[in-house]
Amino acid sequence: MDCESVGGDEAEAVVRKAGMNDERVVQLIQAFFSSLSEGVALLVADPGVVAARTSLGETALHYLCVENQVEAVRELMRRGAAVDTVNEVGSTPLSDACSLGYLDLVQTLLEAGASLWLEGQHDPTLHQAVRGANVEIVKLILDAGASVNEQADLSETALHIAVEDDHLEIAELLLSRRADPDLKRIFDETALDVAERHASTRCMALLSTKH
């Protein structure tokens, strides 16, 4: 999706949904939703707006990433917007793009040097990529250096997450990158235990061969 294809009504909906209350950020978001050229014009008039934040700790870059506005994101980064930023709920532009399955945007952010982990981040970026269920994004995050066996809250690994919804291709990819199927999360559950509890039949069959 690009900014030229989004109308004013949708821009207003984004603003309401996000609960934005920083006037400068709101104006910039609305300008980019009107057109790329309007967004650029506002950036030229007020260069410092790229660093403005809402009460949720988010910049315009973060919101435009959530809305998959790739060209607007590129323009913001060209004009100094920080790609590494964490909001008040512990998400980053990259982790959100991963969880939403935005492949082109993930590539853009990684090429711009986005970090896989930032202080204050809630979930590892790899875990968010697996939740997004896009195997190509998971590959990108692994290739960028993510630890395949990293354990987050509740000691959960990316493999635990993959098998919950029977994402066979992602589970196969993680195992090919040396994911440990015997690591346990809360309640002493291995990935196979999780697959069995969620009736993830394809992943059950896959993991049964690993024991």
Give the model confidence (pLDDT) of 138-189 as tens digits. 999 999 999 999 998 889 999 999 999 999 999 999 999 999 999 999 889 9
Query: How would you label 133-155 residue by residue, b for 16+ Cβ within 10 Å and e otherwise?
Result: bbbebbebbbeeebebebbbeee
Measure the CA–CA gap between 39 and 35, rounded to whole angstroms: 6
Place 22 in a pLDDT band, splitting at 50, 70 and 90. confident
Place of tokens 């910039």: 28
pLDDT value at 20 more than 50: no
> How far is residue 82 from each of residues 53, 163, 211, measured CA to CA in Å?
12, 34, 45
Measure the CA–CA gap between 81 and 60, rounded to whole angstroms: 9
Rounded to 5°, the CA angle 140-143-149 comes to: 105
Place 23 in a pLDDT band, splitting at 50, 70 and 90. confident
Using CA atoms of 152, 154, 158, 161 in order, give the dihedral in degrees to the nearest 10: -140
pTM here is 0.87
What is the length of the chain? 211
* Ordered domains of the chain (ranges, CATH): 1-82 (1.25.40), 86-145 (1.25.40.20), 147-211 (1.25.40.20)
CB 137 within 8 A of CB 105: no
pLDDT of residue 11: 52
